[in-house]
Structure 1
């Protein structure tokens, strides 16, 4: 599925080059095929990283829970490690959010199919404590500021750890 921006660009390109319906359908099918190949190629990596982050965040036993709570009370939680599969735009978003919120959990993903027009962001930070969901999301929007102006949308999930 293409975002509206990419669909509009593809439509304009087809209209400029030719008005033939066969060329238009061929372009759309090529774009759809490319996106399907990219999704199939990335699916194992994305699925594995999501499962790993959820599994690693959960303690395995009561003793792990006790040691985790003791460590959390004595020192600030360590920020999550930056994944190596992020592209440049996702990496820039990651760095901004890490600097601003010191998150305990963070996931940044381009969900527009690679064109950088829509991102999915999940973030958990102590700075959200006491703020309702709307205020939490406004804090993230303010931190990303000018960077978000070029996007068509964002799926934002915030929570308190």
Structure 2
């Protein structure tokens, strides 16, 4: 029994190209033939070539997150503290108070947040920032997992 696609393919072949033997005889004759070994068809040139895959399936890791050079002292402290704790893939720290340092907007994406709800993620950030948060007027915090 063969599938419909194979039946259609057989119908399109000219009669002269069709095998005269039954499929079971063809399969047994193919099975009895010795199969060529890998070294006969593709010679190995070096001892390590046998262990290397033809194609590496890994992707390069993302480049490390670089701190912007335009951050002031307080923004730099926030950046360094969060980067050391969460190793984020994306992060931005901005003073949105007009320069007086009383309100900050922080956007952070980190693998450490995976599986945690939004409230737990923000509590994690607040815990790391500690007492500094209490000195500020406000904090806009956006957290997410990649």
Residues 88-119 of structure 1 deviation map (CA, whole Å, 9 limit, x = unaligned): 00000000000000000010000000000000
User: Residue 70 of structure 2: which of 85, 107, 113 is its match?
Assistant: 85
Aligned counterpart, 2:102: 117
Unmatched 5+ stretches in structure 1: 1-68
User: Residue 60 of structure 2: which of 71, 81, 91 is its match?
Assistant: 71
Number of equivalences: 90
1:71 positional shift: 2.1
Counterpart CA distance in 2 for 1:143 and 1:83 is 21
Matches within 5 A, 1:13-92: 70-72=59-61, 77-92=62-77
1:158 has 2:136 as partner: no
Question: What TM-score, normalized to structure 1?
Answer: 0.53
1:141 has 2:126 as partner: yes
- Greater fraction helix: 1
Residues 51-86 of structure 1 deviation map (CA, whole Å, 9 limit, x = unaligned): xxxxxxxxxxxxxxxxxx7224xxxx4431000000
1:120 positional shift: 0.2
1:101 has 2:86 as partner: yes
Question: What TM-score, normalized to structure 2?
Answer: 0.59
- Secondary structure class of the residue paired with 1:71: coil
Counterpart CA distance in 2 for 1:106 and 1:120 is 11
